[in-house]
Amino acid sequence: MNKFWVVTKQVYKKNVRSGSWLFLVVSPILLAAIIIGVGFIMGNSAENAKLAVVTTQPAVTRTIGKAADVKAKTYTKAAADKALREEKVDGVLTFAAEKSALSAHLTTRVGGQTIDTAGITAVLNQMSMQSAAQQLQLSSAQLRQLTAPAKLKESAVAFKDGKRVNKDSSTDAVNRGIAMGITILMMLFMMVYGSILAQEIATEKGSRIMEMLLSSVSATTQFFGKLAGILLLLFTQIAVYVVAGGAAWPMLQKQAIVKMMLANFDFSALASVNGAQIILFFLIGTLSYAVLAALTGSLVANQEQVQQAVMPLTVLGLLGYFGALTAQAGDSAIIRIGSYIPFLSASIMPVRSTMGFATSMQGWIALGISTVFLGLFTWFTVRVYKANVLVYKEGGLGKALRSTLTFMRAQS
């Protein structure tokens, strides 16, 4: 097997079996499952609420059963009371015919299933209105006219590439949500996978395994092998979510929050320039963090310094995260500048684009800067990585980096 793949496979296998990675992957699924599961159980149990309807007209019971989330059945008054006492039903609905409006009384049993009162009220309103319309001899067209609700339509405007773009406010809210999601996901992925890589390399360096490795495989092959292993791990996590999401889709579709998001989600955005930029920023951003992680990881002198290696990642990740949060509130000079700085741009620029603060050209420029930076940074890191193996400098990563650079100059 090619040595590149031996390294990649080792990094992948070692981490994919580790408890911390499994937890990282499974915990969001578990959390989602719990939230959805609770909603599902609550939804199911609400549907199962049994309602005794005391009426002589079975049609009324049928209408209530269809329109409200209850199992409605016609009862006599005495039978209904008995059923309630014996906990066979969760509530009893009785009618009192009054002169003008339809009036009903709902008795619910404490400890019984929750009865959809809003649904029942809606049915009763409808029935009441129909009977009033009959008494007033209104045609169905007149009734519709009378009951037509007033309309309030909202719209928000944004200016993109100098042109006015109309957006409706719900799409805007969804965009905001997506931008927020991207920010959090990016920070999570970049920091988590950066830390895994930094720890991986720092442990090898601190325990001197690195010397054995570098006498068997070139620093460059080892470096890119590790990077590939980490990326594979990241793709595996995404794949797990895609599969889990696909399997749970039939159930997810029924969830109110998902329905709301689907209704307002502008699917064309995915295929747009913005969508492509987000994916590229995600890739370039994750790779930049991984390379930085490799650099800081290779600077440590012993196992105790491993946490120090992760520090720069955390700081940069948090800066990007807060930048992105601030960008959602509005554009400012600092945010504009930050959105072009490598490491930060991956978090900030997608938010600015999504919010309509940046043109797609600006997005491409920021991407270009990040890509060129990534290339140069990787070239630099590969060179430092090899030299670092022999530099064991206690007392901080900065000192270690200076020693390495001195060593590299002496070597050349």
Q: Which helix (H) or strand (E) holds 73?
A: strand 71-75
Distance of alpha carbon 272 from the chain centroid: 20
Three-class SS state of 104:
strand
User: Under the criterion CB under 8 A, does residue 211 sit at the interface with another protein?
Assistant: yes
Q: Rounded CA gap, 164 and 171, in Å?
A: 16
Of the residues 34, 35, 212, 243, which one makes contact with another protein according to CB under 8 A: 212
State the first-to-last Cα distance of the chain, in angstroms, to the nearest integer: 33
- Specify the residue, 27 or 303, whose C-beta has the smaller distance to another protein: 303
User: Under the criterion CB under 8 A, does residue 22 sit at the interface with another protein?
Assistant: no
User: Minimum CB separation from another protein for residue 213, in Å?
Assistant: 7
User: Minimum CB separation from another protein for residue 229, in Å?
Assistant: 12
Closest alpha carbon to 115 in 46, 60, 164: 46
User: Under the criterion CB under 8 A, does residue 1 sit at the interface with another protein?
Assistant: yes
User: Under the criterion CB under 8 A, does residue 160 sit at the interface with another protein?
Assistant: no
User: Under the criterion CB under 8 A, does residue 217 sit at the interface with another protein?
Assistant: yes
Name which of residues 218 to 257 contact another protein (CB under 8 A): 218
Closest alpha carbon to 382 in 316, 287, 294, 299: 294
Of the residues 384, 389, 397, 401, which one makes contact with another protein according to CB under 8 A: 389
Of the residues 117, 145, 169, 207, which one makes contact with another protein according to CB under 8 A: 207
User: Under the criterion CB under 8 A, does residue 176 sit at the interface with another protein?
Assistant: no
CB 190 within 8 A of CB 285: yes
The DSSP annotation for 320-353 comes to HHHHHHHHHH---HHHHHHTTSTTTHHHHHHHHH
User: Under the criterion CB under 8 A, does residue 214 sit at the interface with another protein?
Assistant: yes
Instruction: With contacts defined by CB under 8 A, name the span among 13-21, 275-283, 367-375, 376-384 that binds another protein.
Output: 13-21
Angle at which helix 273-297 crosses helix 219-252, to 10 degrees, equals 130
CB 407 within 8 A of CB 391: yes
User: Under the criterion CB under 8 A, does residue 35 sit at the interface with another protein?
Assistant: no
User: Under the criterion CB under 8 A, does residue 203 sit at the interface with another protein?
Assistant: yes
User: Under the criterion CB under 8 A, does residue 188 sit at the interface with another protein?
Assistant: no
User: Under the criterion CB under 8 A, does residue 10 sit at the interface with another protein?
Assistant: yes
Instruction: With contacts defined by CB under 8 A, name the span among 136-144, 179-187, 209-217, 280-288 that binds another protein.
Output: 209-217
Using left for φ > 0, alpha for ψ between -120 and 50, and beta otherwise, residue 226 falls in alpha
Q: Rounded CA gap, 95 and 72, in Å?
A: 14
Q: Interface with another protein by CB under 8 A: which residues?
A: 1, 3, 6-7, 10, 13-14, 18, 203-204, 206-209, 211-218, 389-390, 410-411
